[in-house]
Amino acid sequence: MADELTGLLHRGLETKRQTFADEDFAGEHGRGVTGRVKRRRAVSATALGGGTVVAVGAVAVGAWQMPRAGLGFGGPGGSPSVVCTTTTPDAVAGAGVEVPRGATYVVTDIANGSAYFVGAMNGVPQLWGLDGTPYELGQNADGTGVVELLSGAIVTINQVTGDVNPADPEAVIITPADSYLLESTSSVNAVGADGTVLGHALKVADGGLVLVTDGKMYKLTSSEGGTYKYVSRPDQAVNAVTLVDTQPASGNSEDVAAPEVTCVTTTPEPNASASPSLSPVISAQPSATPDPAVSDSFGIVPSPFQCGFDLAGAQPNPAAQFRDLHWVTANAAETSVRAFFQDPDSVDFNLSGDLVPIVMYDFGVGPEIDGASGVIGPQDPQGNLAGFGTTDGVQDTMQFAVGAAYVLVEDGAVVATYVPDGGPSSQYIDSYDPDTGTLYGLNVDDAFTPCSGEDAASLGDTDLYAVSGWITEDVTGVHGPLYGWSKIEPQG
Amino acid sequence: MAHWEPILDEVMRERAPRLLAYAAMVTGNDAEAHDVLQEALVRSFSKRRAFTHVNAAEAYVRRAIPTVYLDSLRKRKNRERNHSRAFERDETQPPDVDAQVDVQRALATLSPRERACIALRYYDDCTVAQVAQQLGLAEGTVKRYLADATAKLAATLGTARGDIAEADTVPVLPAGKAGNSHG
């Protein structure tokens, strides 16, 4: 009888329960479980929204995929080296930018500075990156478009007028697209305390000022002595700048566009003060810190890829900071990975987990360089130091080593690192079994190796960070490594 | 502290023994029960789900346990090169030495999927359709697991076949075998 079996199960369960009654499950596993929940919620909050919400960052996949043939993993579609197109001559947003047809506004996510063109064409809401790349955008039932910015801020776009309606006006900056172009190619530079040009300053719709740098915008507020200040994310550092009109008397536009900064800096330095920190240092000169270019040893520079690195006591370098960081569904990742393989049917995809990570950032490419080669992967770029500094300044095309990965951080320090098994597309893949042709998607639980050597379950209340770094070499010498990092903020 | 943390904490402090017992029933192994419960807790609280009371949270976690367990078996199967051996090992895993209760011993004779189906059907009182949805199986498959499982349990425990011949089930065992269940 069903009742009889049900009764047996309940009685058996009660008996069994008593055997567990003295266990301190919460004490033994509570910290680990809570930490895992936080990490997963952070992941979900980054990319999941309503059914029609599209995570803006999803389109950035292509840029990170672009150099993947040079990851050195030997995938079927790979080639031995990478030739990268350079970034625009001026890394400052605006130069060389054309407003996409149909774009009405630039929406900037105040939380992280990421900015996008939005608008409408033929009754369809539109979304573009600042480089003009069109992104697929979801629509509500009423036809309006919805964008969930990286911070979680929601913006709707009228499909006819292109008007923008932010759910929280305090969370975004709305700038008319035309004035964005006009102003950002104007001549007002924002100059840091050390004289470095950080970017352009421009007026926005509400009459305020923003700093445009590296494709991001930061709100400028008046400070003492005619200077301005802004808060850089995610470290919340307060930075002071001075606005300088550099309108050239000759009207030669090249004078305006020519960057004064080659985005070279020293290693991450402890930053105990709130002094200006967004300061890519022009450094053909040796810096005060050990210069990896002249070092014979590997790993002399502390980096966020390493166990124990104190993120709280250092400052991410904006030149190595992420332009975008987001997560895609396992299906989207699989689609992309399949495109990588010449014979995708030969691979058994097993991209477990709801989401897999994608990161994207711009690394320093000098304005005179039109090509570059190097390696990109989830490793610390310091691992390639030995290959740098050997050309005695005759390097006529840039070479680079770029790394981007994830770490877990507790009390400001790295407590677990991401050590992928490799594979043809490690930006997605935790491991690849060539014998069975199976790919395993990154799982935020088991993809990390605790620094303590203990099991991953021993990790407690940690924060999930994305870390990045790069080294370049050109005619002026070796630059870097530079490191950046971003916390994936828990929500919910 | 996020709103979900106090509920999670309460579930772990106050409901863990019962959930562990349930997980042990499903997995047939105390050590695995701990792993499965941890994963079920993580999975249940990781979604943007708002539990308003610990009872609801406990029920949700309990319902997640069979799914988590079967998922872990699938992953294990995929990751281990010798698929068949790994699976066989799991299915023949002896009951925990502490589990001297008859029903535990009887459950240990079942396959993992059979145990999961039995737990959901006869402990959680799910319908066959609900069990199928929960475990991602076809209803017909669930019926087969239930029929096989109840027959095994009947033989071990001396119970009836669980009276699986309900309106939403079909007999899948030879009539003679089913008829022996009272025996």
Q: Which chain A residues are within 8 Å of B102, Cβ to Cβ?
A: 8, 12
Residues 27-66 of B with CB under 8 A from A: 34, 37-38, 41-42, 45-48
Q: A197 pairs with which residues across the strands?
A: A191
- Domain boundary (B49, B79, B94) is at B94
State whether residue B75 sits within 8 Å of chain A by CB.
yes
Residue B60 shares a structural domain with residue B111 = no
Residue B181 shares a structural domain with residue B141 = yes
pLDDT of residue A406: 78
Residue B90 shares a structural domain with residue B129 = no
Mean pLDDT for the stretch of residues A420-432: 50
Under 8 Å CB-to-CB from A107, ≥6 apart: which residues?
Answer: A115, A116, A117, A118, A147, A149, A155, A164, A166, A172, A173, A174, A175
pLDDT exceeds 50 at position A94: no
The chain-wide mean pLDDT, for chain A, equals: 61
| Stretch among A154-168, A188-202, B45-59, B81-95 having the lowest mean pLDDT | B81-95
- Domain boundary (B79, B94, B109) is at B94
Mean pLDDT for the stretch of residues A473-481: 74
Q: A202 pairs with which residues across the strands?
A: A210
pLDDT confidence tier of residue A53, bands split at 50, 70 and 90: very low
- For A370, the token pair is 């039109």
Mark yes or no for CB contact A9/B38 under 8 Å.
no
Looking at the complex, report in whole angstroms how far the Cα of residue A140 sits from the nearest Cα belonging to chain B.
21
Residue B84 shares a structural domain with residue B110 = no
State whether residue B88 sits within 8 Å of chain A by CB.
no
What confidence tens digit (pLDDT) does each residue in A362-420 have? 544 433 334 556 666 667 878 766 666 655 545 455 667 777 777 888 888 998 887 65
Mean pLDDT for the stretch of residues A276-298: 26
Looking at the complex, report in whole angstroms how far the Cα of residue A463 sits from the nearest Cα belonging to chain B.
14
State whether residue B122 sits within 8 Å of chain A by CB.
yes
Mark yes or no for CB contact A48/B48 under 8 Å.
yes
Looking at the complex, report in whole angstroms how far the Cα of residue A125 sits from the nearest Cα belonging to chain B.
28
Mark yes or no for CB contact B12/A40 under 8 Å.
no
What confidence tens digit (pLDDT) does each residue in B101-142 have? 577 788 888 888 899 999 888 888 888 988 888 887 888 889
State whether residue B109 sits within 8 Å of chain A by CB.
no
pLDDT of residue A466: 80
Q: Which chain A residues are within 8 Å of B101, Cβ to Cβ?
A: 12, 15-16
Question: Element (H or E) spanning A331, and its range?
Answer: helix A330-340
Mutate to test the interface with A, among B32, B46, B105, B143 (most CBs of A within 10 A): B46
Q: How many domains does chain B have?
A: 2
Cα dihedral across residues A311, A317, A318, A320: positive or negative? negative
pLDDT of residue B80: 54
Residue B181 shares a structural domain with residue B109 = yes
Q: A348 pairs with which residues across the strands?
A: A438
Question: Element (H or E) spanning A8, and its range?
Answer: helix A2-20
Residue B58 shares a structural domain with residue B120 = no
pLDDT of residue A84: 18
Report yes or no on whether pTM surpasses 0.80.
no
Mean pLDDT for the stretch of residues A463-492: 74
pLDDT of residue B38: 92
Residue B63 shares a structural domain with residue B126 = no
CATH of the domain at B110: 1.10.10.10
DSSP characters for A432-450?
A: EETTTTEEEE--TTTSEEE
State whether residue A331 sits within 8 Å of chain B by CB.
no
Task: From A154, A124, A143, select the one nearest A49 (Cα to Cα).
Answer: A154
Q: What are phi and psi of A240, to 5 degrees?
A: -105, 140
Cα Rg of chain B, angstroms: 17
pLDDT of residue B182: 33
Looking at the complex, report in whole angstroms how far the Cα of residue B74 sits from the nearest Cα belonging to chain A.
11
Mark yes or no for CB contact A23/B25 under 8 Å.
no
Q: Which chain A residues are within 8 Å of B32, Cβ to Cβ?
A: none
State whether residue A350 sits within 8 Å of chain B by CB.
yes
State whether residue A40 sits within 8 Å of chain B by CB.
yes
DSSP characters for B144-175?
A: HHHHHHHHHHHHHH----TT---TT----S-H
Residue B13 shares a structural domain with residue B45 = yes
pLDDT of residue A316: 85
pLDDT of residue B49: 64
Q: Which residue of B has its CA nearest to A440?
A: B79
Q: Which chain B residues are within 8 Å of A12, Cβ to Cβ?
A: 25, 101-104, 107
pLDDT exceeds 50 at position A439: yes
Q: Name the residue facing B9 among A18, A30, A457 (closest C-beta).
A: A30
Residue B39 shares a structural domain with residue B3 = yes
Task: From A138, A81, A155, select the one nearest A372 (Cα to Cα).
Answer: A81
pLDDT confidence tier of residue A211, bands split at 50, 70 and 90: confident
Mark yes or no for CB contact A10/B37 under 8 Å.
no
Domain that holds residue B88: 1-94
- Domain boundary (B75, B94, B113) is at B94
Residue B86 shares a structural domain with residue B107 = no
Bigger pLDDT: B87 vs A314 = A314
Mean pLDDT for the stretch of residues B85-111: 55
How many interface pairs between A and B have CB atoms less than 8 angstroms apart? Answer: 133
Bigger pLDDT: B174 vs B2 = B2
Residue B19 shares a structural domain with residue B69 = yes
Bigger pLDDT: A313 vs A421 = A313
What ipTM was reported for this prediction?
0.72
| Stretch among A82-86, A247-251, B35-39 having the lowest mean pLDDT | A82-86
Q: Which amino acid is at A370?
A: D
Alpha carbon A215 to chain centroid, angstroms: 12
